Amino acid sequence: MIRRKLNEIQEMVKGSGLKKSHEDIWINGVSIDTRTIKDTQLYIPIIGEKFNGHEFIEKAMGNGATATLWDKNQPIPNIDFPFILVEDTLDAIQTLAKAYRNQLNVKIIGITGSNGKTSTKDILFNILQTVYKTHKTLGNLNNHLGVPLTLLEMAENTEIAVIEMGMSGLGEIELLSKIASSDVAIITNSTNVHINDLGSVENILKAKLEIIEGLKPHGLFIYFGDSPPLRVGVEKLDLKQKKVTFGINRDNDYTVKLISSENEGIYFELVGSDSPRLFLSMLGNHQIYNAAAAIAVAQYFNITLEKIQEGMLKIEATGMRNELIKCNGFDILNDSYKSNPISLRSVLDTMYSFKKYKQKIVVLGDMFGTGENEITTHIDIGEEIDPSQIDYVFTIGELGKYFAQGAKTRFPDERVFSFMDKSSLTTKLKEMIKKDAIVLIKGSRILELEKVVDELK
């Protein structure tokens, strides 16, 4: 993590007001949260819609903060404590992160996409760390605060960092990419997942392509070549950087082919190469796309196929994403972090591919952000669920009930259950689960379906 004297911090953020007697004080890391701040960290109070971090300065001090950045428009408390005054603390943490990144001899890999960015990050991190000192985005810290915090957590000797970049509107990925100043940029795909935020598929594609804005002139741009709109969008750009495509179509630079799907992962091969078949310890046939992107980056950094395979044997995946949990007599496939049409259809295919289970149950919650046709979208996916592959369909939520409506066109009523609260859902689930069953839990983050998982364990 960042370790600097306060006079260096003040210079890095272009701040002012630090007393001479405080200049040689060291900080070890930064925090924006007084609840988790550690001794000797720099406190950076953020102003949000419903809170003002400046109001918690005394709590930050009491919990170990060594110093603070401070919005010069906020009243300064009459206390003996190191203050560095800045125009805006959000801008300051982003500026600090960019400055720190530029001080380190580190290669940055930026990843964005409508789906697959977290899985790609996890696969790539596990491969890279077989050879390099590697850092990655923790959890889902992928926004205008998360990316700076991730960069500031890098150890000084980090060789490669894998940085996930999310967005909620136009301009955000451009900002993040310029903060990170990537050596490699990846777009896993571009779909209508953010249609509510951006209004059109064209704007979503435009937002994803913003990752190029921070890509170094001699960097590498890797993108999903099976997407015609993405290919067209890239071709319209006058890019000087090297471009590499991946996918299952033969015209990609990295073409992958699925061999088989097992209960612990997937076997696949690189088409047109002399490589042996490869195994990825992640569930879901769609993971071959994420593996292809990761392999393209790994080979760019001269990692051998032997080391690539070593890295893919045991993926330390981010929680609540295709997470297989062993319970007493049955398994849970926990994919409760988010849900959208593409990821839901993919995980349903994963459920269909399982052969060893004697019972398969899906628990589906609301998909948010699917646009004006959200009800129809839920009904359509419900109608697609295969009754020969799934024994019971459980749904939860105002939109989730439309999955049930669609499912009942193919399932008898006694195999479809719809609920509005987690407690009733969990009670019924416990009644229905048999030995050697697998239960999929899938829904948008706001539903907190991980609580259902916890109750079932």
CATH code for the structural domain at 323-456: 3.90.190.20
Would you say 191 is a known binding-site residue? no
CA dihedral 287, 293, 299, 305 (to 10 degrees): 10
The superfamily in CATH containing domain 104-312 is: Mur-like, catalytic domain (3.40.1190.10)
Would you say 119 is a known binding-site residue? yes
Predicted pLDDT at 197: 65
CB atoms within 10 A of CB 196: 14
Predicted pLDDT at 370: 82
Q: By the 8 A CB rule, do 128 and 160 touch?
A: yes
Predicted pLDDT at 321: 80
**10-residue stretch averages of pLDDT, the chain, 457 residues long:** 98 98 98 97 96 96 97 95 98 99 98 93 97 94 97 98 94 97 96 67 89 97 96 92 97 95 89 87 93 98 97 84 90 92 92 94 92 93 98 97 98 98 97 97 92 94
Q: Phi/psi zone of residue 150: left (φ > 0), alpha (ψ -120 to 50 degrees), beta? A: alpha
Would you say 318 is a known binding-site residue? no
**Contacts of 420 by beta carbon, 8 Å cutoff, 6+ apart:** 396, 397, 398, 401
Predicted pLDDT at 274: 78
Predicted pLDDT at 251: 96
Would you say 118 is a known binding-site residue? yes
Pairing of the two strands 266-270 and 254-261: antiparallel
Cα separation, 109 vs 165, whole angstroms: 10
Q: Domains of the chain: which residue ranges?
A: 3-88, 104-312, 323-456
Would you say 190 is a known binding-site residue? no
Would you say 113 is a known binding-site residue? yes
The superfamily in CATH containing domain 3-88 is: MurE/MurF, N-terminal domain (3.40.1390.10)
What Cα–Cα distance (Å) separates residue 92 from each residue in 104, 125, 222? Answer: 19, 28, 31
Cα separation, 149 vs 224, whole angstroms: 28
Q: Please calculate the CA angle 443-444-445 and round it to the nearest 5 degrees.
A: 120
Predicted pLDDT at 196: 62
Q: Which amino acid is at 62?
A: G
Q: Which amino acid is at 21?
A: S
Q: By the 8 A CB rule, do 433 and 326 touch?
A: no
Q: What order of strands is seen across the sheet that includes strand 83-86?
A: 30-31, 42-43, 67-71, 83-86
Could you tell me the two tokens for 326?
Answer: 């062993």
Would you say 208 is a known binding-site residue? no
> pLDDT tens, 395-442?
999 999 999 999 999 999 999 999 999 999 999 999 999 999 999 999
